[in-house]
Amino acid sequence: MGKYQQDVQTLLDKIGGKKNIQAVSHCMTRMRFVLVDPKKADEKAIEAIPSVKGTFTQAGQYQVIIGNDVANFYQEFTKFAGIEGVSKDAVKNAAKTNQNPLQRIMGALGEIFAPIIPALICGGLVLGFRNLIGEVDLLNGGTQSLTDVSQFWAGLYNFLWLIGEAIFHFLPVGITWSITKKMGTTQILGIVLGLTLISPQLLNAFSVATTAPADIPVWDFGFAQVQMIGYQGQVVAAILAGFVLVYLEKFFKKICPEVISMVVVPFCALVPSVLIAHTIVGPIGWKIGDFIANIVNMGLASNFKLIFAALFGLLYAPVVMTGLHHMTNAIDSQLVNTYGGTNLWPMIALSNIAQGSAVLAMSVLQKRNERAQQVIIPACISCYLGVTEPALFGVNLKYGFPLICGMIGSACAAMISIGTGVTAMSIGVGGLPGILSIFPEYWINFLLAMATAIVVPFVLTFIVGRVKLSKEDRIMEPTPAVASDITTPAAVEAPATTIMLKAICDGRTLPLSEVPDDVFSKGIMGEGMAFEPTNDTIYAPADAKVSVVMEDSRHACGLQLADGTELLIHIGVDTVDMKGDGFTLFVHEGDTVKAGDKLISFSPDKIAAAGHPKTTIFIVTEPAGHNKMTFHTGIETKHGETVAAELA
- Active-site residue list: 27
CA distance 90 to 80: 21
Q: State the DSSP H helix or E strand holding residue 637, giving kind and residue range, or none if neither.
A: strand 636-637
| Residue 634 · residue 381 · CB < 8 Å | no
- Which alpha helices (DSSP H) does 165-212 contain, by range? 171-183, 187-197
For residue 266, CA distances in Å to 237, 242, 243, 274, 304 come to 21, 14, 15, 12, 50
| Secondary structure of 102-114 in HEC code, one letter for each residue | HHHHHHHHHHHHC
The closest alpha carbon to 429, from 438, 442, 418, belongs to 438
Q: State the DSSP H helix or E strand holding residue 311, giving kind and residue range, or none if neither.
A: helix 305-322
Q: Strands 492-493 and 30-35, how do they pair?
A: unpaired
CB atoms within 10 A of CB 364: 12
What is the SS3 assignment for 360? helix
| Residue 231 · residue 199 · CB < 8 Å | no
Rg (CA), the chain: 27
Residue type, 291: F
CA distance 602 to 24: 27
Cβ contacts of 462-471, under 8 Å, gap ≥ 24: 462/361, 462/364, 462/365, 464/401, 464/405, 465/361, 465/362, 465/365, 465/399, 465/401, 465/402, 466/365, 468/399, 468/401, 469/365, 469/366, 469/399
The closest alpha carbon to 24, from 102, 68, 100, 76, belongs to 76
Cα–Cα–Cα angle for 109, 114, 120, nearest 5°?
Answer: 110
CA distance 562 to 564: 6
DSSP 144: B
The closest alpha carbon to 468, from 563, 403, 535, belongs to 403
Strands of 514-606 (E only): list them: 527-533, 537-539, 544-549, 556-560, 566-571, 583-585, 592-593, 598-602
The closest alpha carbon to 629, from 560, 514, 528, belongs to 528
CA distance 69 to 74: 9
Q: Based on the number of CB atoms within 10 Å of its own CB, is 632 exposed (0-12), middle (13-18) or buried (19 or more)?
A: middle
Question: Residue 194: CA atoms inside 13 Å, Cβ hemisphere, count?
Answer: 28
The sign of the CA dihedral 57, 60, 66, 68 is negative
Q: Based on the number of CB atoms within 10 Å of its own CB, is 370 exposed (0-12), middle (13-18) or buried (19 or more)?
A: exposed
Question: Residue 306: CA atoms inside 13 Å, Cβ hemisphere, count?
Answer: 6
| Angle formed by the axes of helices 305-322 and 282-301, nearest 10° | 120
CA distance 65 to 524: 8
| Residue 348 · residue 316 · CB < 8 Å | yes
CA distance 6 to 328: 48
Length of the chain: 648
